[in-house]
């Protein structure tokens, strides 16, 4: 029992070790490096550059590469070029250590030009190998953590914390870009502005947590019913906006009515009590309004949202007269 427990513990500890890919066609060198790095890294082996490239594409957990230069099919230099020219972001900071002979300055210089981080000379010294691998692994690990933090901060700056939709800032950034495209190429661009009806009544009657849950529910419906290229954002307390590239007024109106109907028919409950939800929606399209900025287009959609509210809520409005409104 004790031996089995020790084996299980060793196995779990080994699974937590970082992966290092060794690209080497010599069995002797492979066995030696495996011995030197055992206990600190999990070594994967590729017999040449082509084999290594396949493994890199299939295994995103590889955190460092040690490669020889002269190999069949794909050399170490060619492998370096493929790694550094890849569009995969994870390859950008992948550390690569090249093995060369002591007097091989030509290969060493070419390896640096192709993007090698470091080199180690043959015959391999154990202490030198461990030191170089440790340094580059820790540096790459730190860079990945910093990039992850930067991405997280960028996401937080453009994401509504409650609904996880885009926030007002992100909506206007995307909207400004899409407006420039629509004006330059004469393409369609529409905006929907949706507002949850009687939101204050929900908060006052059922509490703010119920109000938050209602907003999250609306956000899920909007995300479910829109395309990847659309921008769905929470731009106010209970107000949402949807940016629709390549969508004319008719297409936007059809989508608005589908959203209104879906929210009206969807089941939403606070505890065991069913709570009906409805939205009012204003529609504006660039080709019809002939506006210059995303702010102007949003303002027109917002005015039509007000008209939809004025004419009884739970409806959409597509013009400034308020006549073209739809409801169940």
Helix (H, G, I), strand (E, B) or coil at 141: helix
DSSP string across 167-212: -HHHHHHHHHHHHHHHHHHT--EEEEEEEETTHHHHHHHH-HHHHH
Residues near 319 by beta carbon (within 8 Å), at least 6 away in sequence: 304
Tally of CA atoms within 13 A in the half-sphere of 162 that contains its CB: 19
The catalytic residue among 63, 213, 238, 289 is 238
Concerning whether 238 is annotated as a catalytic residue, the answer is yes
Contact, 286 vs 179, CB < 8 A? Answer: yes
Distance from C-alpha of 197 to C-alpha of 279, rounded to nearest angstrom: 5
Contact, 144 vs 94, CB < 8 A? Answer: no
Residues near 16 by beta carbon (within 8 Å), at least 6 away in sequence: none
Residue ranges in the chain assigned as alpha helix (H): 2-15, 27-37, 49-58, 76-84, 105-113, 126-158, 168-185, 199-206, 208-225, 249-265, 286-289, 294-310
Angle, in degrees to the nearest 10, between helices 105-113 and 76-84: 10
Q: Among all chains, which residue has been given the structure tokens 């060619």?
A: 78
Which residues are catalytic, by number? 238
């Amino acid at each position: 029992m004790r031996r089995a427990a020790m084996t299980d513990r060793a196995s779990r500890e080994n699974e937590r070790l970082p992966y290092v890919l060794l690209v080497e066609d010599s069995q002797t060198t492979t066995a030696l490096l495996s011995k030197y790095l055992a206990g600190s890294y999990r070594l994967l082996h590729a017999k040449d550059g082509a084999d290594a490239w396949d493994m890199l594409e299939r295994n995103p957990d590889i955190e460092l590469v040690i490669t020889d230069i002269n190999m069949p099919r794909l050399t170490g230099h060619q492998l370096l070029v493929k790694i550094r020219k890849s569009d995969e972001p994870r390859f950008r900071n992948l550390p690569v250590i090249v093995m060369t002979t002591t007097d091989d300055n030509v290969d060493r210089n070419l390896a640096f030009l192709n993007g090698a981080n470091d080199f180690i000379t043959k015959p391999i010294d154990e202490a030198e190998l461990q030191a170089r691998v440790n340094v580059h692994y820790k540096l790459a690990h730190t860079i990945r953590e910093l990039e992850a933090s930067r991405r997280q901060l960028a996401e937080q700056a453009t994401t509504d914390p409650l609904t996880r939709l885009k926030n007002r800032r992100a909506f206007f950034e995307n909207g400004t870009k899409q407006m420039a495209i629509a004006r330059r190429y004469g393409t369609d661009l529409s905006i929907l502005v949706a507002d949850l009806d009687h939101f204050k009544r929900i908060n006052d009657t059922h509490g703010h947590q119920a109000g938050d849950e209602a907003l999250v529910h609306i956000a899920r419906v909007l995300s479910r019913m829109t395309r990847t290229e659309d921008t769905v954002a929470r731009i106010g307390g209970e107000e949402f906006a949807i940016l629709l590239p390549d969508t004319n007024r008719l297409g936007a109106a059809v989508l608005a009515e589908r959203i209104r109907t879906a929210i009206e028919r969807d089941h939403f409950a606070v505890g065991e009590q069913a709570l009906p939800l409805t939205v009012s929606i204003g529609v504006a399209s660039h080709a019809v309004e002939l506006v210059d900025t995303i702010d102007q287009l949003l303002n027109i959609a917002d005015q039509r949202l007000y008209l939809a509210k004025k004419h009884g809520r739970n409806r959409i409005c597509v013009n400034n007269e308020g006549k073209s409104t739809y409801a169940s």
